[in-house]
Chain A
Amino acid sequence: MKAIKNNYQTLIILFVTTFFTNFCFAQVKDTGFNKLSTIDEVVVTATRTQKSIGSIPVPVQVIGKKFIQQTGSQKLIDILQQQTGLVLADNPLGQALQGYPNPLGSGIQLQGLDPAYTLILMDGEPLTGRNAGILNLGRIAVGNIKQIEIVKGPATSLYGSDALAGVINIITEKPKHTLADVQLHQSINNTWGVTANTFIKNKKSAFQLFANRYSSSGYDLDKTIYGKTADPYVNYSFAAKAFLDISNHSQLQTSLRIFSQKQFNNYLVYVGAQPAAVDGSSNETDWSVNNQLQTAVSKKIKLISRFYVTGYKNNAGVFLQSNHQLFDKSFLHQFLLKPEVQLEIGENANQKFIAGAGYNYETINANRYASQHNFNAFYFFAQKEWLFNNRLNVTAGTRIDKHTLYNLQFSPKLAMAYKFYNNLTVNASIGTGFKAPDFRQQFLSFSNSLIGYTLLGANERSNGLQQLKQQGQIDNSIDITPYLINHTLLPEKSIGINVGAKFSPYKKVQIATNLFVNHINNLIDRYNLPFTKINNQAIYSYANFNKIFTRGFDVNVNYQPNKQIVISSGYQYLEAKDKDVLQKIQKQELVKRDPVTFVSNYVSNKEYGGLFNRSKHSANMQLAYSNKKNSFSSSLRAVYRGRFGYTDINGNAILDDNREYANGYVLLNASVTKNI
């Protein structure tokens, strides 16, 4: 019956699609296409000042509202993964649960670095509530986004820890007119979305109200496994923004954002060796208040004061269906208070000096940690831009961070752009970054009730192992003594180099390319202890691994043969490897044992595929057509992700066998839009 209903729904949608494709060759004002950004497009993330993209000496990608609208997508993650060099990556820890979506989520991998190394900002302020380093981008409704700015390469000199791979800044709309819109979205799996947006613009003030409800019945890819692959959920987003011109020189901007989601869980667990069904829910709440006062002290001096407060709560609980007893309960509560002052000196956009200072007060409390912990951090940043002969732009900046958990960190950056001709600009940048060991990596003590693994922070390894032994979860024959010494994690340090060019050989063609190299020292990563629990599940902990690197290049080509058609494509080549592994291979210290033939061999350089979850090749292609006269537009978008390392099967914990890869795939998306 359900299948008939779904087919019926599918037929209706197919009919509507066909109808519009064949009969409604009409337009839309927007071409709605993500072409290479025009040089006068204004961005703020790369330099913390408003600047046209053509004069920025670091690689920046901008996703405009038109593209977001044209995809028809309701999820931010779907939009991001259609961009060159941005790859949707699962947290490897959650991959053990085959047949269920990764419980630790998926995030965006940038320049081959894990999602934890990319800072996600909303209107310039950080979002909190990362789970195992990954921020759930499903929390962000796209209906009020003006543009998304992606800065590739280290941005620690402006934004501090976590910005090693880059920054994704989600900029919400600022009212320019008075208007209102209401959108109804319907998709398969009984997915419904309702969005309402209102802008009110007066002479000296502007207001925006945004609300969204989104729900889905989930889906099931494998009927042989109990429960759904993805459980049903419903979420609500609300945002309010106000702009007020206090005087000719001062503007106050204040905004409030609230997100709330409830997911209805139903899956199978094991009580002892017996399977048992559980059901319950997980509730996620995320809120923030962002105040900003901009004052033009003089023609050349601007003062920006920011006061940002945000909180995140995740409460989950499941009960045994048989007797309604609580089976598992978890919570994570996070709070951040962040006042900041920024001074801007200079009239010319390419010759500004900025300096700022701020303070972070953060609290975190979770059932996985022994108690609530509070952190304090102070930071100072400064940046100066110079323009020589109207051709050479040099930007130098630095940031100093002092945090409760680590020593003083100094993060400098130097970037240059040289305009050889009006149609050729070459840019280069070098920057350092750091990522402090997070609380999870140091103090976590967690056993997953669904999968059964245990994860111990570096400072909890000794206590955790002793407890597992006492509880009989580690076999008595295993000697845990060598692992009863805790160790202190060091901050991860990186240096990133980007060299690129923007070239327009013809008026209708734009080419942008960027070569990148990132070296990370003291990488903190999860590792398996060399024994398992009695349920055969792994025990993980964290340690500083020596060094990794990621390097490669990306190319974007945009071709607009006429006003109606835009063709765009992008490609990224990536190598991501562990330097220690390369050394061991050279010294013939790494052996692999075939799980079928049991034949052992030394691993060769050629066999080593690098870090797991990285695709050497990824690409995208987009074709957009718009006809203003007939109010019609359409787009066809393809995303290719090459094969990537998934899991180790021959016991040496590295990627070196063809059977350890997941196949590459192509996602093909299409949409048509008709304005009436």
Chain B
Amino acid sequence: MPLLPKIFKNGIALQTGSDNILNYTDKNKLPNLFGRTYFINCTVIIKQLIKKNKK
């Protein structure tokens, strides 16, 4: 069996966005809807890559 060297690859995903861009609200009938929001997500991914040794 060939050895399976473990290689770790890092990756970063940056995401930004806005929900309810039109800022629709109805404080009496839709109090769960709180208007325009913005968000940022930053994700760091560490993934193990497995490479088979060529014979």
In the complex, which of the residues B11, B17, B24, B35 contacts A666, with contact meaning CB atoms closer than 8 Å? B24
A670 contacts B17, C-beta separation under 8 Å: yes
A98 contacts B28, C-beta separation under 8 Å: yes
Query: Could you tell me the distance between the alpha carbons of A182 and B50 in the complex, rounded to whole angstroms?
Result: 21
Query: Could you tell me the distance between the alpha carbons of A14 and B15 in the complex, rounded to whole angstroms?
Result: 12
Q: What residues on B are CB-neighbors of A596 within 8 Å?
A: none
Q: What residues on B are CB-neighbors of A674 within 8 Å?
A: 13-15
Question: A49-105: which residues lie under 8 A (CB-CB) from chain B?
Answer: 71-73, 78, 88, 90, 95, 98-102
Chain B interface residue count, CB cutoff 8 Å, equals: 38
A667 at the B interface (CB under 8 A): yes
Number of A-B contacts (CB under 8 A): 140
B18 contacts A100, C-beta separation under 8 Å: no
Q: What residues on B are CB-neighbors of A71 within 8 Å?
A: 17
A229 at the B interface (CB under 8 A): yes
Q: What residues on B are CB-neighbors of A100 within 8 Å?
A: 31
**B38 CB to nearest A CB, Å:** 4
Q: What residues on A are CB-neighbors of B38 within 8 Å?
A: 10, 13-14, 17, 187-188
A165-194, CB under 8 A of B: which get 1 and which 0?
000000000000111111111111101000
**B28 CB to nearest A CB, Å:** 4
Q: What residues on A are CB-neighbors of B25 within 8 Å?
A: 221
- Among residues of A, the one whose C-beta sits closest to the C-beta of B31 is A101
B27 at the A interface (CB under 8 A): yes
Asked if A179 meets B46 with Cβ closer than 8 Å, knowing A14-B38, A72-B39, A662-B26, the reply is: yes
In the complex, which of the residues B6, B21, B34, B48 contacts A230, with contact meaning CB atoms closer than 8 Å? B34
Q: What residues on A are CB-neighbors of B32 within 8 Å?
A: 88, 90, 101-102, 106, 230
Asked if A178 meets B48 with Cβ closer than 8 Å, knowing A17-B18, A675-B12, the reply is: yes
A646 at the B interface (CB under 8 A): yes
Q: What residues on B are CB-neighbors of A672 within 8 Å?
A: 15-17
B31 contacts A17, C-beta separation under 8 Å: no
A673 contacts B15, C-beta separation under 8 Å: yes
A28 at the B interface (CB under 8 A): yes
**A535 CB to nearest B CB, Å:** 20
Asked if A662 meets B30 with Cβ closer than 8 Å, knowing A183-B41, A187-B38, the reply is: yes
Question: A649-676: which residues lie under 8 A (CB-CB) from chain B?
Answer: 662-663, 665-676
In the complex, which of the residues B24, B31, B41, B47 contacts A665, with contact meaning CB atoms closer than 8 Å? B24
B18 contacts A669, C-beta separation under 8 Å: yes
Query: Could you tell me the distance between the alpha carbons of A99 and B50 in the complex, rounded to whole angstroms?
Result: 55
A183 contacts B43, C-beta separation under 8 Å: yes
B42 at the A interface (CB under 8 A): yes
Q: What residues on B are CB-neighbors of A328 within 8 Å?
A: none
**A217 CB to nearest B CB, Å:** 12
Query: Could you tell me the distance between the alpha carbons of A266 and B21 in the complex, rounded to whole angstroms?
Result: 29
B42 contacts A670, C-beta separation under 8 Å: no
In the complex, which of the residues B17, B27, B28, B41 contacts A184, with contact meaning CB atoms closer than 8 Å? B41
**A31 CB to nearest B CB, Å:** 14
In the complex, which of the residues A98, A99, A179 contacts B48, with contact meaning CB atoms closer than 8 Å? A179
B13 contacts A187, C-beta separation under 8 Å: no
Asked if A673 meets B47 with Cβ closer than 8 Å, knowing A72-B39, A187-B38, the reply is: no
- Among residues of A, the one whose C-beta sits closest to the C-beta of B6 is A178
Query: Could you tell me the distance between the alpha carbons of A73 and B15 in the complex, rounded to whole angstroms?
Result: 11
**A256 CB to nearest B CB, Å:** 24
Q: What residues on A are CB-neighbors of B24 within 8 Å?
A: 665-667
Q: What residues on A are CB-neighbors of B26 within 8 Å?
A: 662-663, 665
Asked if A675 meets B11 with Cβ closer than 8 Å, knowing A106-B32, A183-B41, A185-B40, the reply is: yes
B20 contacts A13, C-beta separation under 8 Å: no
In the complex, which of the residues A72, A102, A182 contacts B15, with contact meaning CB atoms closer than 8 Å? A72
Query: Could you tell me the distance between the alpha carbons of A670 and B21 in the complex, rounded to whole angstroms?
Result: 8
B39 contacts A181, C-beta separation under 8 Å: no
A28 contacts B46, C-beta separation under 8 Å: no
A182 contacts B20, C-beta separation under 8 Å: no
- Among residues of A, the one whose C-beta sits closest to the C-beta of B45 is A181
A446 at the B interface (CB under 8 A): no
Asked if A16 meets B16 with Cβ closer than 8 Å, knowing A187-B39, A663-B26, A666-B24, the reply is: yes
Question: A233-263: which residues lie under 8 A (CB-CB) from chain B?
Answer: none
In the complex, which of the residues B21, B34, B37, B46 contacts A181, with contact meaning CB atoms closer than 8 Å? B46
Q: What residues on B are CB-neighbors of A670 within 8 Å?
A: 17-18, 21
**A660 CB to nearest B CB, Å:** 11
In the complex, which of the residues A106, A181, A669 contacts B20, with contact meaning CB atoms closer than 8 Å? A669
Question: A204-233: which residues lie under 8 A (CB-CB) from chain B?
Answer: 219, 221-222, 229-230
- Give 4 closest A-B pairs by Cβ, nearest first: A671-B17, A13-B38, A178-B48, A187-B39
17 contacts between A and B (CB under 8 A): A13-B38, A13-B39, A17-B16, A72-B15, A98-B28, A102-B32, A178-B47, A184-B42, A187-B40, A189-B37, A221-B34, A667-B20, A669-B18, A669-B20, A674-B13, A674-B15, A676-B13
Given contacts A90-B32, A668-B20, 5 further A-B contacts (CB under 8 A): A17-B16, A73-B19, A180-B46, A187-B39, A672-B17
